[in-house]
Amino acid sequence: VLKLFKLLHRTRQEVFKNDTKALEAARQKINEEFRNNRDEKSEEKINELLKIASDVEAILRTSVIQAVHTDSDKI
């Protein structure tokens, strides 16, 4: 669980580099989701939550695109 938590935060830092609003929003959401489920005892539910977190990390890494304006009409 801790390994996945750290991986999500590292991925967040890479994906949203130089975007302070997105970095903070992602940090809060990751922490909130882990905090809300910290007392979960069911092994089945824990495995399901870990699968979801792993899928989210993969989607962040492969599907999120950050664009930067280089000119008034170029990104």
What are the sequence ranges of the domains in the chain? 1-62
pTM: 0.81
**Residues 14-47: tens digit of each pLDDT:** 999 888 999 999 999 999 999 999 999 999 999 9
Task: Compute the radius of gyration of the chain from its Cα atoms.
Answer: 15
pLDDT at 67 over 80: no
Give the Cα separation of 25 and 33 in Å (integer). 12
Give the Cα separation of 16 and 66 in Å (integer). 7
